[in-house]
Every structure is written in C-alpha cells, then in structure tokens.
Structure 1
C-alpha cells in the first residue's frame, strides 16, 4: 500500500482507470493461485473472487464515471457536429466569389486560396472523425473493464481530432481574411494570425490537464499503433529508394 496512489486523477473516469491499473499491478505481483481463491461476502451471503469484489466495491465510482463520460461525449459531439457544419458550409462559400461565365473562383491562383481549400478539407474530415469517436463512446456498453483502455483511448482521440479541427478552421478563417483584405503589411498579417489562433491557444491550455491525465492511455495507443504498422517494411522501402 506504500505504492498506492489512488484518487489522484481528476474526474471519476480517470480515477476508475487508476483503480483498474492498480488492480492489474497487484494481480501481477501476488502468486497466481491467490487470484482464484474465493472470499465470503457477508452482505450477499456468497463467495466471490477478487475481481468480483473489485466490481462490487467500485460500483458507485463506476456509476459516476459512466455519467461523467456520457456528459463529456454528448457535449463534445455537439461541438464536433457544429465544427463539421461550419466546415461544410465554408466549402460552398468561396472567398472572392466565382466568375460569372466560367464559374471558376476569382482568387483560384492565390496561394491563400489553396491554404483555404486544404484547411477546410482537413477541418471537415477531422471534425467528422471526432464526431464518430464521441458517438462510439455514447454507444459503448460502459462496462467496468472498458474504462481501462477502450473508453479513455476513444476520448483522447476524440479530443485530439476536435482540437485539430478547431486549429485548421481558424487557419482557414485567417486565410479567408488574407484573401479578402489582401494586405502586404507584415504587421497586419501577424495580427490577423494571432487573433485567429487565440481560440486555439485557449482551447489547448484548458484541455492540457486532461491530456496529462490521459498520458498513460496516450502512450499505450502510440505503442499499439507502432506495433501494428510495418515500420521495418517502410524503412526497407525508403532505403531502396535512396539506393535507386
């Protein structure tokens, strides 16, 4: 118990994940036959395994974690849907208008127009991906084992795609301003980009503690992705390209 650090994470879902992690640590340390032993439950008048005991004693925390992650997923899915709507509407609102005869955008050859098209496409794709992640959380069975890896991983990926969507949307907004204002003053350009990325900075600062809390899950997701991707084949392919 000297190594136990329970209830140090913010939010019931993170606390439950921490408890599950501690249960796995203890399960790995003790001899295997202890995990199969039965203990008498005075309340329900029956024998129970350590896993059953853990589920019973963490029932209230499980309910709190379920309510918390449901509310978070519902709120974030609403924001992700709003971001997708904005990105979809911006795709049909071309800055500068179209040519009356050919229908091509008037500012097609401007470099900022290319930035606007790319960022708007990334915004739509990332917001829809974030929406899918949050919807998968809402349709989850919310079992206690899901709070160890599955639900926290989906939540952190949903937050990541939502943050990326907000960032590229602000970049698309800044490129639209540069197209319509068409200024050559570096001070004005810097001011426009600073104003455009102010919401992104505030969003990142507010969500940074959550990313720190989910660092274990995030590292596990990165390791899982690295184990799936054929990095050795990619490195061999790059070496062949260099030799050719």
Structure 2
C-alpha cells in the first residue's frame, strides 16, 4: 500500500468519524442512541444473572459427577472392604486432578466409621432435613451421598475443592460482557443509522427549514429554499 492509498484510507476514516460526530451533535440522535444502547444492556444484564447461576451449577455438577464415579467405582471394586479399608481406599482419591479434599464415612445406622483428608462441614444429621443436602462457599462444596444413592450400606460425605469455580465464573462473565458490548454496539449503530435516514434526518430538515422561515419573516426577506421540499414521504 503506497502513501497515497494510505492517505486516502485515513481520509475516508476521518470523513466517517466527522460524519458520525456531526450526526451525534443532535440531541435527538444522542437520545435515540442512548436509549437503544441502554435498553439492550439492561436486557442482556437481566439475562446474564440466571445464565451465571446455571453456569455455576454446571461447573459444580462436573466436579461432583467426577468424584461420584470414582467413589462408586471403589465401592463396586471392594464390596466386602471393612470400614478402615474403605477409608484407606477413599483417601487415595485426594489428588489435585480429582478436586476431592476429604470426607466422612458413616454406616447405615449413622455411626461414623472414619475420616479421610479434610472433614466436611456437613454432618449426617443434615440428611434428615433433605435427601439431597449440600453446603458450598467460595472455597468448598460438600455433599452427602446416602447409601441408597451409592447402592451400598455406607453413607459418604465428600468435601470438594470448589476454589477454581469462581475464576471460571469470572472468565465466563467477562466473555459474556464483551460479547454483549459488541452486540449492543452493532445493534445500536444499525438501528441508529436506519432511524437517522427514516426519521431523524427529516425531522432535523423540518426544524432547519422552520428556523429559516422564522429568520426570513423576522428580517422581512423572501421565503428561502426549503430542504424538506426534496423529501417524498
């Protein structure tokens, strides 16, 4: 690309920028652009809240599903293991890629057999209030799997590492916000350009002609040439 082409390209961009700037000097144009952009942002913001909640549930569900499969595999592989042996087998699941920090093991009678790793905040007594109990915060996500769920005589309370869920949610929110801004700008500019041609320009021409007519009457001059005459609506 030679220097003349570069200058021509820059001149075209500058003309477009000046044209947009001139159009936005109108209060009507600014109000239309602001209303459209704000409306889209508000609607997308309202939609974003349940979307983030759903994404959080998906991330936590992935963690729980992975640990459930591993725990179920141990119970199926060692069906006759004693309580102590079961604790030892489950303690092998405390690995960085498993996101299992620890857990408590209870018998069908509610007697605590043992604990491996970090002890969960949830207790077996919570199971009486709801068949699917869970406790979560920014750092942990605890869940109770009853013997019926695990198809065994043991009830297991697992503590999961949920610390990576928050960064993933923030990254998800940033991606959605960026996408929303791009869509909002595109729709706003598109709607504004069409309204500019169909509605705003004719109104501005009529206002300009009205000012001209007022000045002509005030100064006792001949009627000027009105630009709105060229409009065929």
Q: Give me the TM-score of the superposition, normalised by structure 1.
A: 0.27
Is the strand fraction higher in 1 or 2? Answer: 2
Compare CA radii of gyration and give the structure with the larger one.
2
- After TM superposition, the score normalised by the length of structure 2 is 0.28
